[in-house]
Structure formats: structure tokens, C-alpha cells
Structure 1
Amino acid sequence: MNYIRDVDGGFSIIKDVKVSGAREGKFGVSIILCPNSTASGVFTTNKVVAAPVTYTKNVVKRGIVSAVVVNSGNANCFTGQKGIEDCEELVTLVSKDLKIPANEIAICSTGVIGREMPMDIISKVAYDSISRLGDNPENSLAAAKAIMTTDTFPKEEAVEVTLTTGETVRIAGITKGSGMIAPNMATMLSFIVTDAAISQKAIKNALRIAADLSFNMIVVDGDESTNDTCLMMANGASGVDVEKDGKIDSNFQDGLNHLCINLAKKMARDGEGASKFIEANVKGAESFDDAKLAAKAIVTSPLFKSAVFGGDPNWGRIVSAIGYSGCELNPDIVTIAIADDEDDVDLVRKGEILAFEDTPYLERAEKIMQSKNIKVNIDMFLGDGEATAWGCDLTYDYVKINAEYTT
């Protein structure tokens, strides 16, 4: 897609946006200042919902967000009325200092569940973050770093999109997520800003499409968080409206999809303890929904993820996962292949097993499984449905990280 260009700089490419990030030990605070922006979001579907999710949903209902404050180190979840009061306290702090109406400030949190916010520390770091607000690439990177928990690297993306009209707009975003990652969002916080002009309804529709192709197609461990939030804000600084007759410019949607997919893949690569990246491509399914079921099942399967860690080309675990996924499947015609950046090999071709012991197919498969990037390619030969999911292997380190998470 030559109308989508990846660019450096994160949020710094968006006019009239300032961001910052600061940390003290495990506690961080990032601030995104985007005055008078139209906004919408998608949130966790977990029935246990963190206080900041409840708070921010009410803010977003108004349709205008001028700032977002995000803390790491504490999820502010299962904290009752005190959790809401802490949200209000932090929002009030930011509102007074930046002279922004409190009802235009969203708040998000990530970290340990079930512990009250250490407001003395968080407030101090918030003031520090406010003092660092700026519009340089370094500011964007600092914001991405401050929201990290078990992440091992910051995650930011930015694109420039040429619309079907020939006009140009920009989209930028940061995200965090490493564990508690599963379909229907992840332990992920994601913040996206565009300089395009777009209505709240259109943002909601565009973001849901993008999330279904990206954040809802990654799996690290199959657990769904209580704090998942993806917010998108449009400040209209470019003066370019991406809607016409109630429809979003198709190139803009493609650009947003591209940005979200890249952010999602970074989360999958950074799965807790991960040593290998998995991409599952399914085609020939009866429908898109069936293809999604199969692709997600492959990257979710603990047995297959363990096999990837061990370098074992156990394709039986792949076909088993597809079989219980709920999709339509005819084992007599399915093709199963694996690939890396150098080679690809069919293990099963239209129902015929090729990867027996002492065959070139199995030898090549064993070599592929040693790679850092592994693709599973499935063709069901049942229809036109296609989908891709991303994940990582399941390692000893994943167990260690989560066994010691609060201790």
C-alpha cells in the first residue's frame, strides 16, 4: 500500500499534541495533551472492570477528550469507591495544572490488581510528567516507556496516509502489553491520535474495525485483563475531513488498520518470557469468522506454544487446535505448512501427511522451528475466509515472571 508510509517520531508527528512520561521505580505516569479532540474507545469485556475504565467510559460518552493521564505500577482495580476517588484526585491534579476541564480528561491504569493506589507516589510522578510535556520524538518515547510494566521495550508507531482525495493525514500511537494478553483486547493500553477531522461515531466504527484485525487477534497467555483500553483522539489539526456522506475514507481506515496491526505485533513479540514470534495465517475457511476462530486457536494452544518453544514441529497440535476451535474443518482436504524467513514446507497437503520420520519435509520443519519468527499457514479449501493471528511461545520464563509478579 504505497499510500501508507511508516514514519518516525511517534506522537511528535501530530500537530498540537504534547506528551510526556516520568517514572519513580515501578510507578510511571504518562500524559497525552491533545486539546479539544473528538474521541472514542474500546474497552475490556471482563466483568471485573477497573475503576479507570469505568471513569473513562463516562468521559468518552461526552465525545471530547483533551488529555489522557496514564499510570503504571497499579491497576486501580477491585478497589471499590476508593478507586474512583483516586481517579478523580489524579484527574483534578492534571486539570488544575494544565487548565483543562476535568470532564475532558481520561484516565487509565495498569499494574497489580487489588491494591489501593499509592497516591503520594503517583501524584509526585504526575507532577514530574506534566513538567516534561513536549512535542519532540523524545517526549513520545518517554510516554511509551512510562506505561511499561513487564514490557521489555517501548511500543510506538506513526504513519502518514494519502487519502483517496489526494490529501494527507497522520496517525500515531503508543501501546503497552506483554502479559495477560488474549482476544477481546489484552492487558493492553493503547492511545492513538490523528490530525484528521472525524466524528465520534466514525472514530468508534473505525477503531472497532482496526481492533478486530489487530488487538483482538493477538494472544500471549489467553488471560483477559480488567483494564484494557484503546482510546483514539482526532484533533483535526490537518484541516482534512476523512468522512464523506457518513463514510470513512478507505485509505484512512487502511492506515489505521496498519498502525494497529504493527502495535499489536509488537505486543505479541514482547510476550512475557517469549523467545519466538508466531504468526498464524488461515485461508480457505468457510467465512472470515471461521478463519478467525482457527487462527486464534493456533496461537492460543498451550501445547503448540510449548512445542514452538521446544522447536518441535508437532503439527498434530495445530490440527487439534483448529479442530476444537469451532470452525468448519474437513481433515481430508486441509493443508498445514510452517515457514520462517528462509523456507516454507508443507507438513500435510490436502489431507496427505508428508512430514514422516526421516523425510526431507520433517527435516526442513525441524530447522524452521529453531527460528525466531515462525509462520503457520493453513488452507482449508472450504471457502474465501481469511484471517491472521499473532502470538508467542510459552516458556519457562513466562511461568517465572507470573509466579513472582507480586512478590
Structure 2
Amino acid sequence: MAVGLGPMSTLHPVPGFELGIASAGIKRPGRKDIVVMRCAEGSSVAGVFTTNAFCAAPVILARKRFLGPVRYLLTNTGNANAGTGESGLAAATRTCARLAELAGVPENAVLPYSTGVIGEPLPVEKIEAALPAALANLSVDNWADAAAGIMTTDTLPKGASRQFEHDGVTITVTGISKGAGMIKPNMATMLGYIATDAKVAQAVLQDLLRDAANKSFNRITIDGDTSTNDCCMLVATGQAALPEITAASGALFAALKQAVLEVSMELAQAIVRDGEGATKFVTVQVNGGATHQECLDVGYAVSHSPLIKTALFASDPNWGRILAAVGRAGVPDLDVSLIDVYLDDVAIASRGGRAASYTEDQGAKVMAQEEITIRIDLGRGTCSETIWTTDLSHEYVKINAEYRT
């Protein structure tokens, strides 16, 4: 059951960006598992991609092509086309070529994306057969259907949208994402697509996406596994009647940056809330670090600990596990006598041991909540970082034990 994640709010159409959904039956007959997205001619596109060395064939192609003129994004679920070698690359190239032929655009103007089981051959014929229906379904109003179409083990579709006005013109930023397991992005999320009708130079757009991803998608973890298929794309269609943003400055850029960050943050947190088998949404906040990196090291040590995650599932305030994780995070010359640890506002540890005011009942009350904050003050400096994660439940094990059955 997704933690605090309900139906999506209104996803505003983005002029110049259309989405079409169809069924190829890749993993299940009748399942809407193909999503085609069409960008207006002249759109600029930014992308961030997985750092996994075994990156999927579609990642290799999309990473090569996204700087050129892009017109279509093609996504399939049910098959990751990863760990498939040269034949996988040929399969991804073939599906792009067929879509390009049907749409009347150059082959390099199509970017592929896949998600699903790793190591299985891509069913090219099924995808090719579904493309005409996906093209016929193209509409600016299909964001919600597309959010459902890119799901795998997700229990709910994920989308977010913001609008703001500049000089009397309304600018829209809308995005969707998918992901529920194999989540510890090292760039973005499992799959994410954000579009805006602002006109933005590609270099500015790339920096904007990278910054937004680092503050959102790169601050979430469910199980510590970086996927082979992680991609997040930001498309600026340029359809709004405003001047092009050519520098990271000015009121228009600042407003757009805030909207993109808010959409990215909402999508990233939705992935955590819908984590496989998750019953808790956990914020790990590390303050007082000498560097941002050591704050991240401590935050991920806590977020990835199976002992802490299972204690969270059991609502067990076993605070010693948190201290152990902080201590093994690799922070040099860590003085434990300076460290304070809190569950929400309840002090559980201070000066290297149990806080004098702490009682087990206080800890148990916080741990019983669906949403919990673990706050760690290192007492070393002024840097802070926040990571969002989940507990580890019986259901997570069941989902991943039965993933291919």
C-alpha cells in the first residue's frame, strides 16, 4: 500500500508535447505497455542517465541522440532490454527506425526507453505492431494514461504539474515517473519525463535538469540498487510566447527552475511512497556535516541498513542500529560525543549514548507513524543533506522473489 500517495492531482497539458498509449502485450495480454511522446519541432531536450556500467541498450542510444533534434520518445514496459548485448542494441535501433518511418522523421530523432525484466530479448515485433495505435492516440491530454502506461511494479501512477505566470503568459511544467524497486538512482529515477512549454537553450536546460535531479531523484533510495535503465528527460517545447531563456539568471529562469524542482521533488517522493512493500515513508536528515558528501555518506548508511529498515517495519525504536550505521559511514575523525540523534523531535541519543530524557514509549510512538523523520546532527560544520527512503517489509521480499513468475 502506497504511503500517503493518493490519486494524482490535475496534470496540465503542455503545448507542443503529446502522448499516445497502446498495448503490445509484452508481459501481459491487453496491458497498455507502449507510450509514444511527440515533441514539437524545435524543442530542446535535456537528459540524465544511469551510471550503471551494464546500462541498457535504450540508454546507450538515448544518450547518443538526445542532443540532436528530437521529435519522439518511445517507451516500453515489461522488458528492460538490458544485459542483451549487440542484439539488444540492434533491437532498440529497429524499434526507433520503425517509429521514425511511421512518423516521417529521421531515425536519430527517436529516443528509446525500456523498463522491466533484465536479460530477456526485446519483443520487437510486438512493439512495432503497437506503434500505429500509439501514434493514433497522441494527445496533449494523455499525461495520466501515460503515467499508468510506464508502470511496472508500481501500485499507483505518478505525476505532478505546476503553472506560473510571467508577463501575462502562463507557463506549464508537467511530469510523470515510474519506479518502486531497484531504486538508488545515481542520476535520476527509473524513468521520468518532464515537459514545459518555455523556450530554453539546451545547455541551460541540461544544467537545470541536472540540478533538479541532484536535489530530488538523486536523494531517494528504496533498496540501494541503481538500475540499468535509469533515465530522466526534460523537454522544453518553446510554444509559450516568451523570449528564449539563454542564461541561468533572471525572473523567468528563477520561476521555471522552482517549478521544475517542485515537480521533480514530488515525483521522486512519490516513488519512495510507492516503494515495493513500503509501509513507512522515512526522511533521513543529516545536519552539521563538515562537507555535503559526508552528510550523504551518513544518510545513505542509515537509509540502506537492512537492520534499520526492518526495525522501521516492525515499529521498533532500536536506536542502537542507527548509531551503528552512523559510525560505519566512513566519516573521518568522527567524534561521537558531538552527535545527537532524533526520531522526529524526540532525542534518542546524545553525546555518544542514550539521551537522558529518552523513554522507550516516546520512541515507540514515533516509530508507529507512517511518516518518520530520523535527524542526525554531526556537530562538525554547517552542511546538511536530506534523503528519503522506506522500511523493508515481508512484501518487498515477496514481490522481488516472484518478479519473473
2:194 is matched with which residue: 188, 192, 195? 192
Supply the AA of the counterpart residue of 1:255. A
> In the alignment, which residue of structure 2 is the partner of 1:335?
340
2:85 is matched with which residue: 73, 77, 80? 80
Q: Is the 8 A contact 1:21 1:144 kept in 2?
A: no
> In the alignment, which residue of structure 2 is the partner of 1:313?
317
Q: Is the 8 A contact 1:13 1:158 kept in 2?
A: no
Deviation, 1:370, is: 1.2
1:66 aligns with 2:71: yes
Deviation, 1:392, is: 0.7
Deviations 1:237-270 (A, max 9, x none): 1133463555472332222222111111111111
> In the alignment, which residue of structure 1 is the partner of 2:44?
38
> In the alignment, which residue of structure 1 is the partner of 2:270?
266
Give the secondary structure class of the aligned counterpart of 1:20. Answer: strand
Change (3 A) 1:404 1:173: same
State the alpha-carbon separation in 1 of the partners of residues 194 and 273 from structure 2.
20
Unaligned runs of 5+ in 2: 1-7
> In the alignment, which residue of structure 1 is the partner of 2:15?
15
Deviation, 1:13, is: 2.6
Supply the AA of the counterpart residue of 1:374. I
State the alpha-carbon separation in 1 of the partners of residues 329 and 301 from structure 2.
6
Farther-moved stretch of structure 1 (215-224 vs 168-177) = 168-177
Give the secondary structure class of the aligned counterpart of 1:204. Answer: helix
Give the secondary structure class of the aligned counterpart of 2:214. Answer: helix
> In the alignment, which residue of structure 2 is the partner of 1:288?
292
> In the alignment, which residue of structure 2 is the partner of 1:147?
150
Give the secondary structure class of the aligned counterpart of 2:275. Answer: coil
State the alpha-carbon separation in 2 of the partners of residues 305 and 161 from structure 1.
39
Deviation, 1:226, is: 0.8
1:302 is matched with which residue: 300, 306, 311? 306
Deviation, 1:274, is: 1.1
Deviation, 1:181, is: 0.5
Deviations 1:124-155 (A, max 9, x none): 3333222221122xx11111111111111101
Deviations 1:323-362 (A, max 9, x none): 22233542112111112xxxx311124545227xxx7632
Q: TM-score, normalised by structure 1?
A: 0.89
State the alpha-carbon separation in 2 of the partners of residues 61 and 237 from structure 1.
19
Deviation, 1:94, is: 2.0
Give the secondary structure class of the aligned counterpart of 1:110. Answer: strand
1:326 aligns with 2:330: yes
Supply the AA of the counterpart residue of 1:15. P
State the alpha-carbon separation in 1 of the partners of residues 139 and 314 from structure 2.
45
State the alpha-carbon separation in 2 of the partners of residues 244 and 110 from structure 1.
34
State the alpha-carbon separation in 2 of the partners of residues 140 and 219 from structure 1.
25
State the alpha-carbon separation in 1 of the partners of residues 248 and 286 from structure 2.
32
1:108 is matched with which residue: 110, 113, 135? 113
Change (3 A) 1:337 1:233: same
Q: Is the 8 A contact 1:35 1:67 kept in 2?
A: no
Change (3 A) 1:283 1:140: same
Deviation, 1:186, is: 6.4
2:163 is matched with which residue: 142, 160, 163? 160
Change (3 A) 1:169 1:327: farther
Unaligned runs of 5+ in 1: 1-6
State the alpha-carbon separation in 2 of the partners of residues 186 and 200 from structure 1.
18
Supply the AA of the counterpart residue of 1:142. D
Give the secondary structure class of the aligned counterpart of 1:116. Answer: coil
1:172 aligns with 2:136: no
State the alpha-carbon separation in 1 of the partners of residues 248 and 390 from structure 2.
39
> In the alignment, which residue of structure 1 is the partner of 2:4?
none
1:56 aligns with 2:90: no
Deviation, 1:59, is: 1.0
Q: Is the 8 A contact 1:22 1:143 kept in 2?
A: no
State the alpha-carbon separation in 1 of the partners of residues 393 and 135 from structure 2.
39
Change (3 A) 1:278 1:245: closer
Q: Is the 8 A contact 2:189 2:232 kept in 1?
A: no
Q: Is the 8 A contact 2:179 2:190 kept in 1?
A: yes
Deviation, 1:302, is: 1.2
Change (3 A) 1:226 1:406: same
Please tell me the root mean square deviation across aligned C-alpha atoms, in Å. 2.2
Give the secondary structure class of the aligned counterpart of 1:61. Answer: coil
Q: Is the 8 A contact 1:21 1:145 kept in 2?
A: no
State the alpha-carbon separation in 1 of the partners of residues 179 and 241 from structure 2.
33
Q: TM-score, normalised by structure 2?
A: 0.90
Change (3 A) 1:141 1:246: closer
Among all aligned residue pairs of Structure 1 and Structure 2, give the percentage whose two residues are the same amino acid: 35
